[in-house]
Amino acid sequence: MTARPEAVRPARSSWRKSGLRRTLRHGVAPQNRTITWLVALTAAVTAAIVAWPTVVPMTTLMVPLLLGSLLLGPRQLPWFVVFLMVMLMLAIARQQEITPRTVVAIAILFLLCFIVLVTSFRRSRLGVAGVLGESMLVDLRDRILNQGGVPSLTDEWLVEIALRSAGGTPFAGDFVVSTRPRHSNRVEIAVVDVSGKGEQAGTRALLLSGAFGGLLGALPPEEFLPAANDYLLRQDWEEGFATALHLSLDTETGQFEVRTAGHPPAAQLDAGSGRWTVHEGDGPVLGLIEDAEFKMVAGVMRHRDALLLYTDGMVETPRRDIALGIDRMLGQAEQLLRGTFEGGADRLVDALGSENDDRALVLVHRR
Query: Domains of the chain: which residue ranges?
Result: 13-127, 137-366
State whether the Cα torsion 348-353-354-359 is positive or negative.
negative
- The band of 98, judged by pLDDT with boundaries at 50, 70 and 90, is confident
pLDDT computed for residue 16 by the predictor: 41
Q: Which CATH superfamily is domain 137-366 in?
A: PPM-type phosphatase domain (3.60.40.10)
**How high does pLDDT run on average in the chain?**
82
pLDDT computed for residue 54 by the predictor: 82
DSSP state of 181: -
Is-contact 167 353, C-beta < 8 A?
Answer: no
Position 68 pLDDT exceeds 70: yes
Angle at 85 between CA 80 and CA 86, to 5 degrees: 100
- The band of 127, judged by pLDDT with boundaries at 50, 70 and 90, is low
Position 11 pLDDT exceeds 60: no
DSSP state of 292: -
The whole-model pTM stands at: 0.70
Query: 166-175, 273-282, 304-313: which range is least confident on average?
Result: 166-175
Q: Which helix (H) or strand (E) is 134 found in, with range?
A: helix 130-147
pLDDT computed for residue 168 by the predictor: 65
Is-contact 69 130, C-beta < 8 A?
Answer: yes
Query: 1-15, 39-53, 170-184, 288-302: which range is least confident on average?
Result: 1-15
51 vs 43: CA distance, rounded Å: 12
pLDDT computed for residue 141 by the predictor: 61
Position 161 pLDDT exceeds 60: yes
Q: What percent of the chain has pLDDT over 70?
A: 80
DSSP state of 55: T
pLDDT computed for residue 118 by the predictor: 82
66 vs 336: CA distance, rounded Å: 49
pLDDT tens for each residue of 211-263: 898 899 889 999 999 999 999 998 877 777 899 999 999 999 999 999 999 99
254 vs 36: CA distance, rounded Å: 64
